Structure 1
Amino acid sequence: MSAPFATLSDLAALLRDLPGPDAEAIVAARARDATLTKPPGALGRLEEVAAWYCGWRGDPRARVQRPQVVVFAGNHGVVAQGVSAFPSEVTAQMVANFEAGGAAVNQLAGVAGARLDVRALNLDRPTGDIATGPAMSEAECVAALEVGWDAVDPAADLFVAGEMGIGNTTPAAAIALALYGGTAADWTGRGTGLDDAGLAHKARVVARAVAANPVRGGLAVLAALGGRELAAMAGAIARARTLRIPVLLDGFICTAAAACLEAEARGALDHALAAHVSAEPGHALLLDRLGKAPLLSLGLRLGEGSGAVLGMGVVQAALACHSGMASFAEAGIDGAPDPDA
Structure 2
Amino acid sequence: MNFNIHPISNTELKEKLTHKINHKTKPIGALGTLEEIALQIGMIQNTEEPVLKNPTIIVFAGDHGIAKKGEVNPYPQEVTAQMVYNFLNEGAAINVFCKQNNIALKIVDAGVHHDFDNIKGLINAKIAFGTQNYQEAPAMTHKQCTTAIQKGADLVTTTYHRGCNSIGFGEMGIGNTSSASLLMAYFTGTPIKECVGAGTGLDTQAIKTKQHILADVYAKYTVSSPIEALATFGGFEIAMITGAILKAAELKMTIVIDGFIVTAALLAAQAIAPNTIDYCIFAHTSGEQGHQKILHFLRKKPLLDMGLRLGEGTGAAIAYPLLVSAVDFLNTMASFESAGVSTNE
Tell me if TM exceeds 0.5.
yes
Shift of 1:203: 0.7
Q: Does residue 44 of structure 1 match 2:32?
A: yes
Q: Aligned to 1:130, which of 128, 134, 152?
A: 134
Residues in 2 aligned to 1:235 and 1:94: alpha-carbon distance in whole angstroms: 23
Q: Does residue 70 of structure 1 match 2:58?
A: yes
Q: Aligned to 2:187, which of 179, 190, 202?
A: 179
Q: Aligned to 2:222, which of 211, 214, 219?
A: 214
Q: Is the 8 A contact 2:111 2:131 kept in 1?
A: no
Identity of aligned residues (%): 35
Shift of 1:256: 0.5
1:295-341 CA-to-partner distances (Å, cap 9, x unmatched) read 110000100011111121111111111111011122122x1244xxx
Match of 1:290 in 2: 298
- In the alignment, structure 2 segments of 5+ residues that lack a partner are 114-128
Instruction: Tell me which amino acid in the other structure corresponds to 2:234.
Output: G
Number of matched pairs: 324
Shift of 1:109: 1.1
Residues in 2 aligned to 1:41 and 1:206: alpha-carbon distance in whole angstroms: 44
Q: Does residue 148 of structure 1 match 2:152?
A: yes
Q: Does residue 203 of structure 1 match 2:192?
A: no
TM-score (ref. length: structure 2) = 0.90
Instruction: Tell me which amino acid in the other structure corresponds to 2:282.
Output: A
Report the aligned-residue RMSD: 1.4
Shift of 1:194: 0.9
1:4-37 CA-to-partner distances (Å, cap 9, x unmatched) read xxxxxxx1xx24x412336244332212112211
- Pairs within 5 Å for 1:249-260: 249-260=257-268
Q: Aligned to 2:343, which of 328, 333, 336?
A: 336
Match of 1:5 in 2: none
Q: Is the 8 A contact 1:25 1:60 kept in 2?
A: yes
Residues in 1 aligned to 2:8 and 2:273: alpha-carbon distance in whole angstroms: 17
Match of 1:7 in 2: none
Q: Is the 8 A contact 1:135 1:225 kept in 2?
A: yes
Residues in 2 aligned to 1:226 and 1:273: alpha-carbon distance in whole angstroms: 23
Q: Does residue 120 of structure 1 match 2:109?
A: yes
Q: Is the 8 A contact 2:170 2:313 kept in 1?
A: yes
Match of 2:78 in 1: 89
1:203-226 CA-to-partner distances (Å, cap 9, x unmatched) read 112112212222022222111100
Shift of 1:44: 0.9
SS state of the match for residue 16, structure 2?
helix
Q: Is the 8 A contact 1:141 1:223 kept in 2?
A: yes
- In the alignment, structure 1 segments of 5+ residues that lack a partner are 1-10
Residues in 1 aligned to 2:189 and 2:285: alpha-carbon distance in whole angstroms: 20
Instruction: Tell me which amino acid in the other structure corresponds to 2:110.
Output: L
Residues in 2 aligned to 1:318 and 1:111: alpha-carbon distance in whole angstroms: 18
Q: Does residue 18 of structure 1 match 2:8?
A: no
Residues in 2 aligned to 1:206 and 1:70: alpha-carbon distance in whole angstroms: 28
SS state of the match for residue 101, structure 1?
coil
Residues in 2 aligned to 1:276 and 1:113: alpha-carbon distance in whole angstroms: 20
Shift of 1:237: 0.4
Instruction: Tell me which amino acid in the other structure corresponds to 2:53.
Output: Q
Residues in 1 aligned to 2:242 and 2:177: alpha-carbon distance in whole angstroms: 16
Q: Does residue 280 of structure 1 match 2:288?
A: yes
Residues in 1 aligned to 2:16 and 2:89: alpha-carbon distance in whole angstroms: 43
Q: Is the 8 A contact 1:234 1:257 kept in 2?
A: yes
Q: Is the 8 A contact 2:169 2:262 kept in 1?
A: yes
